[in-house]
Amino acid sequence: MLLGKHFRRYYAKYALYFLVGVFVLIAVDWIQLDIPKLVGGIIDTLKSTSPNITQIEQSIIRIGVLALFITIGRFLWRYTIFGASRRIEYELRNVMFSHATKLSQSFYSQEKVGGLMTYFINDLEAIRMSFGPGILMLVDGLMLGGFALYRMFNLNSRLTLYAVIPMVFMTIALVFIRKTISKRFKDRQDSFERLSDFTQENFSGITVIKAFVREIKEAILFNDRNMDLYDKNIRFMKYIIIVNILIGIALNIVILVIIVLGSLSVINATSSDLTAGQLTEYLSYFFTLIWPTMALSQFINIQSQARASATRLEKFLNHPLDVKNSEDAYDVSDLKGTLKVDHLTFKYPDGDQPILLDVSFEIHRGEMVGILGRTGSGKSSLVDLFLRTYNLEPGMIYLDGHDIMKLSVKSVRQSMGYVPQDNFLFSDTITNNIGFALESPTKDDVIEPAKLSDVYDNIMEFKDQFETILGERGVTVSGGQKQRISIARALAKDPEILILDDSVSAVDTKTEEAIIKNLHRIRKGRTTIFIAHRISTVKKMDKIILLDQGKVVAIGNHATLMKTSPLYQDMVKRQTLENLVEGGANHEGLQG
């Protein structure tokens, strides 16, 4: 049994399935052993001087009826036991996915996606095996084996004793081997996880690999990991082979003993010995016994693997959801978008230096605010904190006067529309991408946001227009198109607070102007936060917050900063110069 808290509840939930399944299985095991008895009877009848044909006919009919029962029974236990195991697999997979989506950003910065996939594929499969074939093999092994031994013992106790002794030794050996199987299986899964990480990352970064002509180097690195997996597989398989050989040897010895002693006893028949029919029956039982022995060793194997996988899954499922509602969290459905940052200092969970230092400012409802700063100054980290991607000390960020740590995570995030810096899009239609925040988006819902973010014309040029599938399965869009679709996605949510992280860096200045003009129009009265490198982006905004090395160095509009902030003046000077040098044509050169 798998005793971890995430698994044991399924035994209770599917108890009825398992009980019916096990009951039917035991019944089938018992019934099927009547067949050797009937066959033995037929042989002895045939051997007698005047065989009773009606008796033989009756036996054959009984065998037919038994076979029918066995067939129905096998269907029933498969349906119940295997059916339950598939349902458990399905439910557990949902639990795992839902848990994975709730895990915080810090989890994902440590775990790689490829490795996560092994939980969903290999480990889940090992758990399913334990609930399905595992239970079957345990019950079948014990019951069918027990019944067969019982009948063998009734036929000839001395012979059975000889047959059982090697089996006992073998079982003891198997118990010792079990732990090692589990350990080696875990090693194998870990190695598979590393290989999977590596493969996934390489495919994601395939353009970089090609551009740097790293194909051969990567293939060599892949080979190292692949070789490691091969070694771990071999080490694991060696044990499985040892188990099978042990069983094989034990069985062969026993068969030899039975045949020699059994034949002798038929030849020198006395009243207590076996008849030819009984020896056939006895051997049939013994051959029946082969499967239970195999089943038990398979059970040990399956169970050892499942335990190793259960340990890995427990670790994953028990990983705390560090970003969650506080005990006294409350919902506020109509947040209006006034933000106050109060002496905010923040350090990443795995970092040692604070990357935001004593940051304080206010953003009022309806303002359009630019956050400007050199690369690495902490702009993205700051807006991540608005979205409560990480936990904070209380009293550092207030939303409409509510401490963000006291508001429910859902309230905070529902009030915001976010255009992430990496502009991630799903491999889905443009309609579904832009309408991501909507229940079931239609083209009509997404046309307006697409127009506002100035990507409508581009979309109409695609063959399938709004039905165009993006990403891995479809059209690859340009960096600028990606940014604008991503802006449209946030606009479609029509949020109280809109946050754009460096969202117009890949579009030309004319498009940038058009988008900002649209934003000014539609965002009137609501808060918009615009992270940028370019002065031109933020120049006309109500307020500019200038960050440098995690600190706020100036706040004010363009005119004020031109007077008060040397860093701002410097940035303006440099960007104007770069603009001149490049003839104002290449906006990339303007980045700070």
Residues of the shown chain interacting with ligand ATP in the complex, contacts defined by CB under 6 A: 109, 348, 350-351, 355, 373, 375-381, 421, 502
Nearer to ligand ATP, 115 or 378 (CB): 378
Nearer to ligand ATP, 349 or 525 (CB): 349
Nearer to Mg ion, 380 or 557 (CB): 380
Q: How far is the CB of 415 from Mg ion (least distance, A)?
A: 22
Tokens 């050892």: give the residue: 304
Among Mg ion, ligand ATP, none, what binds residue 233 when CB lies within 5 to 8 Å by partner kind? none
Q: How far apart are CA 56 and CA 45, in angstroms?
A: 7
Q: How far is the CB of 592 from ligand ATP (least distance, A)?
A: 8
Nearer to ligand ATP, 146 or 592 (CB): 592
Q: How far is the CB of 348 from Mg ion (least distance, A)?
A: 14
Q: Which two tokens stand for residue 218?
A: 């990567």
Q: Which two tokens stand for residue 66?
A: 């038994």
Among Mg ion, ligand ATP, none, what binds residue 109 when CB lies within 5 to 8 Å by partner kind? ligand ATP
Nearer to ligand ATP, 136 or 552 (CB): 552
Q: How far apart are CA 318 and CA 323, in angstroms?
A: 14
Q: How far is the CB of 409 from ligand ATP (least distance, A)?
A: 18
Q: Name which of 134, 149, 575, 526 is nearest 366 in CA terms.
A: 526
Nearer to ligand ATP, 104 or 565 (CB): 104
Among Mg ion, ligand ATP, none, what binds residue 291 when CB lies within 5 to 8 Å by partner kind? none
Among Mg ion, ligand ATP, none, what binds residue 355 when CB lies within 5 to 8 Å by partner kind? ligand ATP
Q: How far apart are CA 254 and CA 258, in angstroms?
A: 6
First to last CA, the chain: 60
What residue ranges bind Mg ion (CB under 5 A)?
Answer: 380, 421
Neighbours of 474 (CB within 10 A): 16
Q: How far is the CB of 102 from ligand ATP (least distance, A)?
A: 18
What is the SS3 assignment for 479? helix
Residue facing Mg ion at closest CB distance: 380
Amino acid at 161: L
Among ligand ATP, Mg ion, none, what binds residue 375 when CB lies within 5 to 8 Å by partner kind? ligand ATP
Nearer to ligand ATP, 141 or 378 (CB): 378
Nearer to Mg ion, 325 or 421 (CB): 421
Among Mg ion, ligand ATP, none, what binds residue 377 when CB lies within 5 to 8 Å by partner kind? ligand ATP
Q: How far apart are CA 25 and CA 415, in angstroms?
A: 57
Among ligand ATP, Mg ion, none, what binds residue 373 when CB lies within 5 to 8 Å by partner kind? ligand ATP
Nearer to ligand ATP, 108 or 169 (CB): 108
Q: Does residue 518 contact residue 452 with C-beta atoms inside 8 Å?
A: yes
Q: How far is the CB of 380 from Mg ion (least distance, A)?
A: 3
Nearer to ligand ATP, 140 or 502 (CB): 502
Q: How far is the CB of 228 from ligand ATP (least distance, A)?
A: 29
Q: How far is the CB of 479 from ligand ATP (least distance, A)?
A: 15
Amino acid at 238: K
Going from the C-alpha of 151 to that of each of 93, 148, 255, 261, 289, the distances in angstroms are: 44, 5, 17, 18, 11
Taking the CA of residue 322 as centre, how many other CA atoms within 13 Å lie in the half-sphere pointing to its CB?
11
Q: How far is the CB of 371 from ligand ATP (least distance, A)?
A: 8
Beta bridge partners of 556: 544
Length of the chain: 592
Q: How far apart are CA 31 and CA 41, in angstroms?
A: 16
Region of 507 (left: φ > 0; alpha: ψ -120 to 50; beta: rest) is beta
Q: How far is the CB of 337 from ligand ATP (least distance, A)?
A: 21
Q: How far apart are CA 361 and CA 542, in angstroms?
A: 14
Among ligand ATP, Mg ion, none, what binds residue 408 when CB lies within 5 to 8 Å by partner kind? none
Among Mg ion, ligand ATP, none, what binds residue 557 when CB lies within 5 to 8 Å by partner kind? none
Taking the CA of residue 453 as centre, how many other CA atoms within 13 Å lie in the half-sphere pointing to its CB?
26
Q: Does residue 239 contact residue 174 with C-beta atoms inside 8 Å?
A: no
| Sequence-separated (6 or more) residues with CB below 8 Å from residue 292 | 140, 141, 142, 144, 145, 148
Amino acid at 17: Y
